[in-house]
Structure 1
């Protein structure tokens, strides 16, 4: 029998950390008393292919990667679907040693190992700090000239003598505030971090699930060392001594060595610490995860094998569910999808508003247009006036969830969250409530721009995005813009690539409730700052938010930040994603979260039901 559940959206207290969207409690240890059922398997679907086991870089920071990385890389904490932060004490612990100065000690639990049997220890923690703080980077190095505009990856011409970790860390927030090299504990499994100044979201900055990579693998590949423990020690030595000759190849390999689009020949590249490990990968088709035999944490797998198939077309995903080819889908929701799911028996459907929002960003610099069109504020304002936000919502979103579908009018606040209404009243977004063709024409005419071409990057294999692009293109043409198609199936890797496009249409997905973690999208040089935006006012607000603990003051600062972004004609927000999760009766304990990784947050708890054998 088909069951349908409809849940309300969770009002997030802040935008949270953001990851590029592709749309879109533990299960016991892995010992003799684990819930692992040998030979059990299920298949889930996602709409974008995996391409990097390093989601910490500007290239790899995408939901399609982090869904999988979350399950293969263990960490100190994660969010459940309440959502609330869960301390993953079976992996390790952290202690707030001092508030002023802010000092925190992180300790890996005794006996933890990577899937190849190598101990998880201080070398891994120190490599994480070096990469995520960038405190050891070569000063003033700009990688822009060494990025391939066709792929978004660094080119072979990238200098070999510079230390550059592509984590987007800045010295004003997060681990960027830990400029002093951490102290390694005598146990060899702990590090103590001292912050340069207080940081309100300190608990979310260090090695949460899906992030920490194996130092010994980086050392082996970057430094040419065969022995695992010797390689880990070499990385630790390089970080502690700030040895640039070794850190340069270490950072280079960390940036790109974990990128792959099919099962690598080298098994070192899929070494894991989480409940699962990558065991098979067929390019553009599927990734298979198998229970990690070295995992001894609380989140031990129940199902031995989870295959994630890549199905970009939402209707094809529904068809695969109906045919029994997949057991879990979370396709980008459309009216056709909800109608199609209504006709399928033996499934459960959850419908809600999710933590992802759609938006258009404008490239302030290094766009595709020869005149760098959006470096001109009048042209940015003109283009924002022609984006048919309400028409997009009315045409594409309301047929799915009805009147719950509204235009989102804040870059910072989620609709329904504290501060949203106050910010919308003050931020100036009301100027773009309706399309203003005449106003756009006047601005464009006075701008001095002669080449009005605007190439928009979006997911060309995503039907809803294709429809959004068409609506924007038609509206913009009325004002004199020549909107061209930069759509690509590889859009995620191209985001932030100089010269690849002029505007982008995609979704940001919230990964935490931290007030500061969306700020790298807007601060100068932040990892999610993909449009070369820089504003002293915004940077000032970001810096103030990093150290502000008073709740009312945090709201006020976020309103100031939101107002500055709209005043700078940063781009427009459009809508909060409707989210549809459909689950076969073959599997149970599947409960999606509003935060990334949504449906995968407790994959270790999934179980195959009796229906699987019927």
Structure 2
């Protein structure tokens, strides 16, 4: 057994960690595919959506697969730094005033079904993620399944609504221009946008979306119809296109329609068995730089971390990165022929409170929110569950926006008001409940029922909060991710946000109305205005000032509490080389194309 420790690069995710220029990927080489080879990895949640840009599909379990099958113009390595993927396409800053960026698909790039990737795919991505065609007065929540959070079949057929949005594309008001050769689109922003370099990419094949939506078999005809619908704001076509984009790619087993798993990257989805595994195979039509060495990669869904260790020991999987506990680490250290990689992740644990449409309806009163947060024993959770794993690195995180150790973290903590929840205050909570005139208010907490650490956290929180007079109940579910944005499903949620990049505006989606990650219906006009200001601020000191102000608002509003930065423990069989986890999602999978069988 060999133990390796990740460095302290997690601090780079904090405020001011902005990347405006990247390094290039290696020059394309002949495929190094080792035919007939296979590797199996474990993940703690099952894949359920091939569109990760909807509020329903936006989860790490989906993002891992999408990353391996549909990489785009750039990605993050494990330094972390932004790497441009020129073999897929290039982008260029055409003008700073107004901000204009052009995106060009490289020659010969195709989807796995042989259809060329072109401007139609880019235009669909803009339409779906810019909110350009969405009615701001339309409320989709009444058309969401209360058990899964997915959009239901009774969604109005004539309603144009893309369940995407965010990443600055809402600043691109006009339909992007398409080049004469159909391979380039140019986006014009209404104002400068600091994270323009990571704002745009392709998510789904236009010919598949339009073909399914409009009943068109010919891919060229389907793309032409889609372009026309977007350029002419044709609601009759855009409504079914949007609904297909929102829902058709949600599946929990291999779909009968193989068009729904078309890919553009090094791997394609070959087999998918519900709640068991998904198998990826090297894409025969892929000609880019990210050529895989392993022909077949299977990702098994194992929610129980100790079961993942057992699977590794029994040879059922070769790579695991389970949510770590003391028991997991001890069990992993007892397995022969395994390298253990320890460190911190870019993920942080937190409790969020529902501001609107909560299960019990209590948290629309700030006094009750504050009272509950005063009972969350953050230090006890860290000392009990995290410190035994990583020792002195286990500390309470006291900022919603800054990572411990990042530039600006200490200053933010000193000013953001998080000290109000530094220690459990049962008497203070009781006084607030008395002032609010409520007795034994129920707080139903949503969390992953199959995650032992979350189960333990819930028990610790429940015991503490009940002492103050709360009635803390269990809303846990194995499908917790799909329920996060579902009205009335819970009162508080316990889960982790995983960083996917270094964009300074990345948190915006969590805290502004309509943001793809604003799953608790939080709204503060000052916070929204500050994020608007942040989008056009290129000075790093000013960025930190704005983020510190936002942080203070979140704590003052009793938005929720942060708890800890995730400890990371990865186990790799010595028969596999090239596994080198990143602190950013998709963590262990960021360079899966480099994995090889050891000689």
Question: TM over 0.5: same fold?
Answer: yes
1:81-134, Cα deviation, whole Å (9 max, x unpaired): 000000100000000000111000000001111000001001000000000101
Partner residue, 1:357: 348
SS at match of 1:386: coil
C-alpha distance in structure 2 between counterparts of 1:439 and 1:148, whole Å: 38
Q: What is the SS of the residue equivalent to 1:508? A: strand
Alpha carbon RMSD of aligned pairs, Å? 1.3
User: How many angstroms does 1:240 deviate by?
Assistant: 1.4
Query: Residue 497 of structure 1 aligns with which residue?
Result: 486
Corresponding position of 2:179? 185
Unmatched runs of 5 consecutive residues or more in structure 1: 18-24
| C-alpha contact 2:194 2:538 (8 A) present in aligned 1 | yes
Deviation string 1:428-447 (CA, Å, 9 cap, x unpaired) is 11111110000000001111
The correspondence for 1:407, drawn from 388, 393, 396, is 396
Shift in Å, 1:390 = 0.4
Q: Distance in 1 between matches of 2:296 and 2:519?
A: 36
1:73 aligns with 2:70: yes
Which of 332, 336, 350 is residue 341 of structure 1 equivalent to? 332
Q: Distance in 1 between matches of 2:10 and 2:147?
A: 38
Equivalent of 1:202, from 196, 199, 213? 196
Listed one character per residue, the Cα deviations across residues 226-245 of structure 1 (whole Å, up to 9, x for unaligned) are 11221122111111111110
Partner Cα distance (1:586, 1:232) in 2: 45
Please tell me whether the aligned partners of residues 5 and 350 of structure 1 are also in contact (alpha carbons under 8 angstroms). yes
1:237 equivalent in structure 2: 228
Q: Which residue of 1 aligns with 2:37?
A: 40
Say whether residues 1:523 and 2:512 are aligned partners.
yes
Separation in 1, partners of 2:121, 2:475: 39
1:391 to 380, 401, 409: 380
Separation of aligned partners in 2, 1:529 and 1:15: 20
Question: Which residue number corresponds to residue 21 of structure 1?
Answer: none
Taking the aligned partners of 2:15 and 2:486, their CA distance within structure 1 comes to 24
* Structure 2 residue matching 1:166: 3-state secondary structure: coil
Work out the CA distance in 2 between the residues paired with 1:26 and 1:196.
Answer: 31
- What residue is the counterpart of 1:310 in the other structure? 301
Contact 1:28 1:299 in 2 (8 A): no
1:202-221 equivalent positions in 2, closer than 5 A: 202-207=196-201, 212-221=203-212
C-alpha change, 1:227 and 1:451, in structure 2 (3 Å) is: farther
Give the structure 2 partner of residue 150 of structure 1.
147
2:15–2:407 contact (8 Å) kept in structure 1:
no
- Give the aligned partner of residue 12 of structure 1: 11
After TM superposition, list the pairs within 5 Å mapping 1:34-183 onto structure 2: 34-169=31-166, 174-183=168-177
1:241-290 deviation digits (Å, cap 9, x = unpaired): 11110000000000011010001111001000010010000000000000
In 2, distance between residues paired with 1:9 and 1:526?
30
Shift of 1:330: 0.2
Shift of 1:545: 0.5
User: How far apart are the structure 2 equivalents of 1:256 and 1:125?
Assistant: 19
CA distance in 2, matches of 1:601, 1:439: 46
* CA deviation vs aligned residue, 1:327-365 (integer Å, no higher than 9, x gap): 000000111111111111111111001100000000000
CA distance in 1, matches of 2:581, 2:41: 13
Runs of 4+ in 1 over 2 A off after TM superposition: 11-17, 25-29, 448-451
Deviations 1:554-596 (A, max 9, x none): 1110100000000000000000000001101111011000011
TM-score normalized by structure 1? 0.95
> What is the CA–CA distance in structure 1 between the aligned matches of 2:44 and 2:61, rounded to whole Å?
8
Equivalent residue number for residue 475 of structure 1: 464
Distance 2:584 2:453 in 1: 22
Q: Does 1:374 align with 2:363?
A: yes
Partner of 1:20 in structure 2?
none
| Alpha-carbon distance between aligned partners in 2 of 1:200 and 1:129, rounded to the nearest angstrom | 18
For residues 65 and 16 of structure 1, the distance between their equivalents in structure 2, rounded to whole angstroms, comes to: 26
Task: Look up the SS of the partner of 2:351 in the other structure.
Answer: strand
Q: 2-side partners of 1:347 and 1:11: how far apart?
A: 24
> Offset at 1:138?
3.0
Corresponding pairs, count: 592
Q: Does 1:255 align with 2:256?
A: no
Q: Residues 211-610 of structure 1 correspond to what in structure 2 (within 5 A)?
A: 212-369=203-360, 372-450=361-439, 452-610=441-599
CA distance in 1, matches of 2:136, 2:343: 46
- Distance in 2 (CA, whole Å) between partners of 1:11 and 1:284 is 31
Render the CA deviation track for 1:470-490: whole Å, top value 9, x for unaligned: 000110000000011000000
Distance 1:72 1:284 in 2: 20
- The answer as to whether partners of 1:27 and 1:35 remain within 8 angstroms in 2 is no
Shift of 1:27: 7.7
For the 8 Å contact 2:176–2:186, the answer to whether it is kept is: yes
SS of match in other structure, 1:350: strand
Q: Would the aligned equivalents of 2:15 and 2:408 in 1 still touch at CA under 8 Å?
A: no
Secondary structure of 1:219's counterpart equals helix
